[in-house]
Structure 1
Amino acid sequence: MNKSELVRVIAAETGVRPQDVDSVLTGFVTRVEEVVRGGGSVKVTGFGVFRARDTEPRAGRNPRTGEAIPIPASRRLAFKPSKKLTDRL
């Protein structure tokens, strides 16, 4: 499901105009990005937690040549689903 499909489904289920649903969804994504980029986390009760994780530099391997290559440290977005969501799946 892509964003426009999600907006259509939510609009149909809630009776809210699709433009308003799109605006709220875009605002949610923007705020999550800002908070996580700033080092915080966003917890949506019953759904999960969005946060950034730092990875350590490590050695990798080029699958084509087998040559060892360095993989630098980085920050990754992490999502940990809530137990409630996990149990429903």
Structure 2
Amino acid sequence: MAIFRAKTDSWYVERITTFMAGFFTFTSTILGLITGIKGFFYFTAFIGFMLMFYAITGLCPSSILLHKLGVPSLCDRYCKEEK
């Protein structure tokens, strides 16, 4: 049985994007439960939509923004010796 384990010795675009999605989903859900404001649940739904959009199209706006800000991707960091 194969076990997937992401590299955790540094931060790269894919890892930061996953962390941001989880952090925003968790935070907006907690804030929605505490305050009762429906807007937080709409934000949670938007995050879920964007995760599905990424899975279908392969296009992730937050990853593009992070890469333009200079954060290296997983391949930029670990695949240089293979090129």
User: What TM-score results when the alignment is normalised by the length of structure 2?
Assistant: 0.36
- Identify, as 1 or 2, the structure richer in helix: 2
- Identify, as 1 or 2, the structure richer in strand: 1
RCO higher in structure (CA 8 A, sep ≥6): 2
User: What TM-score results when the alignment is normalised by the length of structure 1?
Assistant: 0.34
